[in-house]
Amino acid sequence: MIEVSDQPKSRKTIALRSSWLLRWAIEAPKRWLGRRSTIGQDLSGGTDGLSYLRHLMRGNRLRRRDGFSAITPETPPVLIIHGFLGTRGSMYMIERRLVEDGFVCVSFNLGTLNVRDIRRSAFLIHRKIERILAQTPSQKIDIIGHSMGGLIGLYYVKKLGGHTRVRKLIMMGTPLRGTWAALAGVATLGLWSTSSWQLLPRSRFLDELAQGQIPPGVEVHTIAAARDWVVPLPTTRLRGANAMTVPLGHSSLVVSEEVYRRIVNTLRPPHDHGTSDAASTD
């Protein structure tokens, strides 16, 4: 009897697997960063990404453009909260447009690297809001939070009694179910960044935040980007919130004119100010 060796076949299989792994490794940058990738679409979403970075570099030294004299109970002030690694400058486009449309906006310097516990940031926001409302005839405030800024706003509403102070909360690209992109913060900032660990899926913080319903009396809205590689669409969902989706990337949420129009129509519905614009909800 002649025995046929399987060794040549095994070597061929190993060679094929090795070549496949080599091809996969070579093509990975194109697959993840190419024009058709979600990252590539966000960055090349082109002018939006560049505009976001340019305004991000403005930092936290923004001058408040007007006082609280224009505030009425029907038009409360708007607090804008930037996200992780963001600055007040990164939200400049939204703030400028809102001011030009007659809103009174305030923002808060959470630090360029806001690595503190998100609960602590929410408490700082709580103190900020109390100071703001003490200077105005309004007892309510609206909040717009981008990315981690939305988590700060939601924690304030659900856990710190903010439902008595907040009329509307708009969360843009907020990782309500966490994001694996936070691993970049964990890898680079490690033990110094509590918030990076809290942004990971199934973190103790996110589990705590998910407990309980949205308190009555607060309108909660989410705006998610379909091409968002930082905070994928499924992670932005929140039961009880009004959900909107736009065909953009993460940074475009704070730059896009389309997103801004949705924000305005949420804060001031068309029938309130006589315009014909309507926010479409997906």
CATH of the domain at 185: 3.40.50.1820
Split into its structural domains, the chain has a count of 1
Whether 265 is in a domain gets the answer: yes
Q: Which of 282, 251, 281, 249 is nearest to 266 (CA)?
A: 281
Whether 144 is in a domain gets the answer: yes
Instruction: Supply the pTM of this predicted model.
Output: 0.75
The predicted pLDDT at position 55 comes to 42
Whether 181 is in a domain gets the answer: yes
Please give the residue range of the domain that contains residue 127: 76-226+244-270
Whether 41 is in a domain gets the answer: no
Does residue 233 register a pLDDT over 90? yes
Whether 182 is in a domain gets the answer: yes
DSSP 169-183: EEEES--TT--GGGH
Whether 210 is in a domain gets the answer: yes
Whether 163 is in a domain gets the answer: yes
Which pLDDT tens digit goes with each residue over 52-86? 444 444 434 445 555 565 666 667 999 999 988 77
Q: Which of 20, 62, 94, 141 is nearest to 262 (CA)?
A: 94
Whether 162 is in a domain gets the answer: yes
The two tokens of residue 256 are 């896009």
Q: Which of 100, 240, 71 is nearest to 171 (CA)?
A: 240
